[in-house]
Amino acid sequence: MTIHNEGKRIIPIAFFFLAVLDAIIYIFLKQFLIFYFLMTASVVLAGLVVYFFRIPERQIDRNETHVLSPCDGKVVVINEVFEKEYFKDQRIQVSIFMSPLNVHQNRAPLGGEISYLRHFKGAFYLAFVEKSSELNERCSVVFKDKNGTEVLARQIAGTVARRICTYKVPGDKIAQGDEYGFIRFGSRVDLFLPLSAKLTVKLDDKPIGGQTIIATL
């Protein structure tokens, strides 16, 4: 397991503020019982910050007939919808909610080329609320495989998540399962699949990014 580059920037800042807070607690509360509770909570919080930015080693089983999960989390929506941003037709939507305890690295569901990318500013509704897909801050990325099949993955910020990171641009090549983005600190990814795709997950399943097969093409 390694620490994501996003964490290498955030963790030192978080530890600095925790150290300042711990110093204040020590000066003013060391003679009280609550001092031990607060110091324990500080250590736990520091551990959670590091844990959030973890990137576990994973073996990616690449297959051009599979759509892999773009992230860890829980399937909260499976529905047929009209996707009006890019495809402008009916698609199967699969939404995966990421809690703050999930790995927040985003991985390519298909291998091939980035054919579209657009970032939208917006609100910060709870990520598991359906309207967050169209109203929250978000970034839509379309992956196009060598056969011309396209899948849209939409990174969505939530109430806690305030930063969407996307590391690719249109025209870039990417291997299936490789990283294309990261979201801090709790969020959601919507997948928009062709109607011909055969789903292999159901509501409340807990997919693993880059490993769980969401659908077959």
Which residues are known to be catalytic?
187
Contacts of 82 (CB under 8 A, 6+ apart): 88, 89, 90, 91
* Alpha-carbon span 174 to 33, nearest angstrom: 54
* Residue bearing tokens 């993955």: 153
